[in-house]
């Protein structure tokens, strides 16, 4: 037996808002979260812009003692999780803790801690290295700390698949509930690695946008003048719930999680398969899992990083799955045009955007779309959100290492 799974809560921290409402309102206004980077001295880098979370106050979510013992990416995860359960109106005191789990991933983990403690090691010696170094930096401390904070004793795991992390985490959590191993899962991604080393590494790869003169226009997915992604940070966490459990407590339901797929390009460390076969197969697998036909899909929240190759390949992949004339009438947008690329958190935040698009019947825009590219010839919902009936949608994520993940979300219909 496969149990049905619904999304009943969401929480996020993004460069365009410190909660769900702020972030979604910013999306509908087409607001850019990109500005000149502040966490890094960018004078010696080619890129000088980033999409940073602004004015985050961890004391709203963690004690001062816990803040001192946790990296920024973990603080984000706890904040996102607590916002999600508040949105879902969940009271875990009424739940069996062994049927409530956490699956939150991060692409990179505690890079702030690594850099700070390495500096201490070199300048002051090994005796001054923090005893909390390891638990602060390891990626699995995000779901670990969330479980500790909330007393959740069910399935607990961590995904680390680069930019596909958040989508894999939600998909894996969906399958856990579908198999009957949990009734509630907190799932998503978190990332906070805008540091000299993290920023410098992506800059050295020539992966970052160098549209420095107008930071708010630096992230321009599918636009002909795109030249790199904007490094971002934040988190996106959802509450997934077994349908009957949600109905019994009269929970509000954003949408149903209908399908999940994943593949590997097995092609290159950082570049996607130039023919888009891995990404296309991933979407096909997802639709088959959901028992949804391609022509039933109304909207795709694309990975859309704003790099020349990624956007081209993703367009090719979409056209392999959704052949003419279906591909041309699909709405496809990249919300990274507004949030920047949140790396391991991207899939979590974008799944939330996809759920809200279904619930509110409005497709988010791709802002900064000014110069059409002949190799990117789909309907990218340019610059303005669009009112539309959205019954079925996909959220795609493509990660370094060739990791592909896709989620199929659909309107809940009893």
CATH of the domain at 278: 3.40.47.10
Q: Are residues 174 and 61 in the same domain?
A: yes
* E strand spans, 282-380: 299-301, 331-333, 362-363
Q: Are residues 243 and 312 in the same domain?
A: no
Q: Are residues 58 and 174 in the same domain?
A: yes
Average pLDDT, the chain: 97
pLDDT for the residue numbered 219:
98
Is residue 168 in some structural domain?
Answer: yes
When computed from its CA atoms, the radius of gyration of the chain, rounded to whole angstroms, is: 20
Q: What is the pLDDT of residues 17-64, one digit of tens each?
A: 999 999 999 999 999 999 999 999 999 999 999 999 999 999 999 999
CB 289 within 8 Å of CB 408: yes
CA gap 88, 205 in Å, rounded: 41
Q: What is the pLDDT of residues 156-171, one digit of tens each?
A: 999 999 999 999 999 9
CB 31 within 8 Å of CB 16: yes
pLDDT for the residue numbered 218:
98
270 has pLDDT over 90: no
Look up residue 273 and give its DSSP letter: P
Q: Are residues 51 and 159 in the same domain?
A: yes
The closest of 285, 276, 231 to 398, measured between CA atoms, is 276
324 has pLDDT over 90: no
Is residue 290 in some structural domain?
Answer: yes
Average pLDDT over residues 347-355: 98
Average pLDDT over residues 176-195: 98
Q: Are residues 62 and 186 in the same domain?
A: yes
Catalytic residues: 163, 303, 341
Phi and psi at residue 349, to the nearest 5°: -65, -40
Average pLDDT over residues 302-317: 97
Q: Are residues 238 and 271 in the same domain?
A: no
Is residue 53 in some structural domain?
Answer: yes
pLDDT for the residue numbered 29:
98
pLDDT for the residue numbered 1:
85
Alpha-carbon dihedral 85, 91, 96, 100, rounded to 10 degrees: 0
Q: Are residues 237 and 173 in the same domain?
A: yes
pLDDT for the residue numbered 414:
79
Q: Are residues 266 and 242 in the same domain?
A: no
Alpha-carbon dihedral 384, 388, 393, 395, rounded to 10 degrees: 10
pLDDT for the residue numbered 48:
98
pLDDT for the residue numbered 323:
86
Q: Are residues 229 and 362 in the same domain?
A: no
CA gap 90, 342 in Å, rounded: 27
Domain boundary, last residue among 248, 272, 306: 248
Residues 6+ apart with CB under 8 A from 246: 6, 8, 253
Is residue 147 in some structural domain?
Answer: yes
3-state secondary structure of 332: strand
Helix (H) or strand (E) holding 6: strand 5-13
The closest of 30, 15, 198 to 114, measured between CA atoms, is 198
Q: Are residues 197 and 64 in the same domain?
A: yes
200 has pLDDT over 90: yes
Domain boundary, last residue among 204, 221, 248: 248
Number of domains in the chain: 2
**pLDDT interval class at 398 (50, 70, 90):** very high
Alpha-carbon dihedral 254, 15, 394, 405, rounded to 10 degrees: -120
Domain boundary, last residue among 189, 223, 248: 248
Is residue 253 in some structural domain?
Answer: no
CA gap 114, 197 in Å, rounded: 10
Q: Are residues 61 and 86 in the same domain?
A: yes
Q: Are residues 19 and 168 in the same domain?
A: yes
Residues 6+ apart with CB under 8 A from 170: 103, 187, 188, 238, 240, 257, 260, 347, 348, 351, 407
Q: Containing domain of residue 162, as a range?
A: 5-248
Give percent of the chain with pLDDT exceeding 70.
Answer: 100
Average pLDDT over residues 149-154: 97
């Amino acid at each position: 037996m496969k149990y049905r799974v619904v999304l009943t809560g969401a929480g996020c921290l993004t460069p365009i808002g410190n909660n769900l409402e702020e972030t979604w309102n910013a999306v509908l206004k087409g607001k850019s979260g990109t500005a000149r980077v502040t966490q890094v001295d960018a004078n010696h880098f080619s890129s000088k812009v980033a999409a940073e979370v602004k004015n985050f106050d961890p004391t709203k979510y963690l004690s001062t003692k816990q803040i001192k013992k946790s990296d920024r990416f973990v603080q984000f995860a706890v904040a996102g999780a607590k916002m999600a359960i508040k949105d879902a109106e969940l009271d875990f005191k009424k739940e069996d803790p062994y049927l409530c789990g956490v699956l939150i991933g991060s692409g990179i983990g505690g890079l702030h801690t690594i850099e700070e403690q390495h500096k201490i090691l070199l300048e002051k010696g090994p005796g001054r290295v923090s005893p909390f170094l390891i638990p602060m930096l390891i990626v699995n401390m995000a779901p670990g700390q969330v479980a500790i904070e909330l007393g959740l004793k069910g399935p607990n795991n961590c995904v680390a698949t680069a930019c596909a992390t958040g989508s894999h985490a939600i998909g894996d959590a969906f399958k856990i509930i579908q198999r009957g191993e949990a009734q509630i899962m907190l799932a998503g991604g978190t990332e906070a690695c805008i540091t000299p080393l993290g920023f410098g590494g992506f800059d050295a790869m020539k992966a970052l946008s160098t549209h420095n003169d107008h930071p708010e226009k630096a992230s321009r997915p599918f636009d002909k003048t795109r030249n790199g992604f904007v490094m971002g940070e934040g988190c996106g966490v959802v509450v997934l719930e077994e349908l009957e459990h949600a109905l019994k407590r009269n929970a509000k339901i954003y949408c149903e999680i209908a399908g999940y797929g994943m593949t590997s390009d097995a092609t290159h460390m950082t570049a996607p398969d130039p023919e888009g076969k891995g990404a296309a197969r991933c979407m096909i697998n997802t639709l088959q899992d959901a028992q949804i036909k391609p022509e039933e899909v109304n909207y795709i929240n694309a990975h859309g990083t704003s790099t020349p190759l990624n956007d081209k390949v993703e367009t090719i992949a979409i056209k392999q799955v959704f052949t003419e004339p279906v591909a041309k009438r699909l709405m496809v947008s990249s919300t990274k045009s507004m949030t920047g690329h949140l790396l391991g958190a991207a899939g979590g935040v974008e799944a939330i955007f996809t759920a809200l698009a279904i619930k509110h019947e409005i497709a988010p825009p791709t802002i900064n779309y000014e110069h059409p590219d002949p190799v990117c010839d789909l309907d990218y919902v340019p610059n303005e959100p669009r009112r539309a009936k959205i019954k079925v949608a996909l959220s795609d994520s493509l990660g370094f290492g060739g990791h592909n993940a896709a989620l199929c979300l659909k309107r809940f219909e009893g």
